[in-house]
Structure 1
Amino acid sequence: MPDPERVTVLLPTYDEAATIGDCVDGFREQGFDDVLVMDGGSDDDTREIAREHGARVEIQSASGKGQAIREAVREHIDREYVLMADGDGTYRPEEADRMLAPLEEGYEHVIGDRFADMEDGAMTRLNKVGNKLTNRLFSFIHGESFDDILSGYRAFSRASFERLRLSADGFGIETEMAVECAKQGIPTAVVPITYLERPAGSNTNLHPIRDGGIIFLELFRRAKTSNPLFYFGSVGVVSGLAGAAVAAFVAIEWFVYGVPHQIWALVGAAGILLGVQLLMFGVLSDLILTLHREQLDRIESIADEE
């Protein structure tokens, strides 16, 4: 693994007074002398406790985990590698070596797979279902399987992070990072980790329904440039099916009961036409994207030969 002197441990926090002290101690005991706590304006004693345990503390300029990570890496970290974890005590500092090792093997981004060894009670059934659906959807859209794209335990080079186009402010940041790694072709490794139950007295900042919706929307939005056939095609299919259903209703009403529905007929026709057009646009966009990728591969091949 990289020398700890080349690594900054990043802990984004918000109201983690119950766990941040032990978390900081755990990483410092593993030999990491630069532990950065990026605080989102906690109302408890998170910042004071973190400082008492030897962490470097910065207050982010705006709220949200995504904002904390972007601001920390770009403004407060100058070391070569970043080891990122949550400050809630659910990740084991003892597995830092495992997380960092792939960076010495040519990988630039490492994701810890929580499902490899998940402690009972560490994740609710609703969260498990949501995580699995998100991972399957990601794999379908982007053609990559990172096993656990929502994991908060990550290691990456600062240079690779600068290549990621990130804009999410909240918990959608992990999804964005995974999408960008797939899109930019950043060598990404997945390693098994242990995911622990939150310690007593520690409350989660995650809201499953709200944050889950944000994550799914982020996946769908990012598909526009990664898989346009899915992006436009899925909307086209929905529009076409809705139009066909309306058209079927109009036809039944007309032929069976003799009741005309001119307005609904126009709505059905519009839905079908829009669906067909979106499907065609998706196919054309996918063709353009494929040709673009082939051209980039040729340019890289020529550059390597020179």
Structure 2
Amino acid sequence: MPRFLNLFICAFLTVAGLTLGATPSLAGPLTAAEVLSQFNVVTFGNLNAFSEIQGRTLVTGNLGGKLSTYYTRPSEVNASNYGALTVGGKVTGALKTIDGNGDAYIAGNAQNMHMNGGTAYIKGTVISNVTGNQQIVPAVDVPNFKPVMDQLSTDLKGLATTSTVTISGKRATFTATPGADGQAVFSIPNGDAFFKSTNEITFVLGGANSFIINVGGSSMTVIENFLDGIGATIAPMAIWNFYDATSLNFNREFYGTVLAPNATISNIFALNGSVIAKDFTPLGAVHLASYSGPLPSGPKAEIPAPQSAALVGLALLALCTIRRRRT
């Protein structure tokens, strides 16, 4: 083979190796605060959606369910290097629409998706009915947010209680006594008993800029109404930390971030804030209200090791070098 042609082929293969090693969804690790800021929904298992999720969504397992829409309020979503939708498994069920020119990254097979301006990057097979821009890619990396969110739940549980919850009739009043950082910490050791004994919630803000509500118990159904518009006020400032929960059912509109990394969650009416769950079946919408208060510092989430473009390219280059020496 002529030397110039051999060099051309080597150069082509090296560049090809760099290109094939690229992983478009690789966006880097995040802290717990960054996860809550950048994502509206994160599940460590499956998402079976039936409604609207206004912000960014990450599903570690499979995305199924009926008609659902994602990324419907792009102008209100905090900046991120992640796409509008990331799925670690497959996409099945009825049509999933990704709005707002948002991109989707699907590690498994995909069907019944409509990209409204963005691009679907799919590692698996397009089974049927994926409309709009799409690309088949060699890899889709899904970050492992579970350890940092578990740690956040543990850290929040360990905070000293500074504020009180009183019950009068069926009304629960959360009276905030914030610390120097403006944070008010509440404790509800028996969440099941609390939610069964009340049907109204109000807050006395007390100048607090954030509210951490630590809730014990494994299985709860929430039917509380938030009074006098207080829900909309506290939604971006509150985290409900269901640290032991395995099952949560929200049968009223709810306000504040729901942190329940080991729970299966369902809702009938809107949840206003980020939802961190094991598995999630949203029958009602999930609205943006990203938590903006202080959090304990912690480690960043891990991401899978990407295919190394550099190593692929160097390996091909080495093979070419050996070939040249032999010719």
TM norm structure 2: 0.23
Relative contact order, higher structure (CA 8 A, sep 6+): 2
The structure richer in helix per residue is 1
TM norm structure 1: 0.24
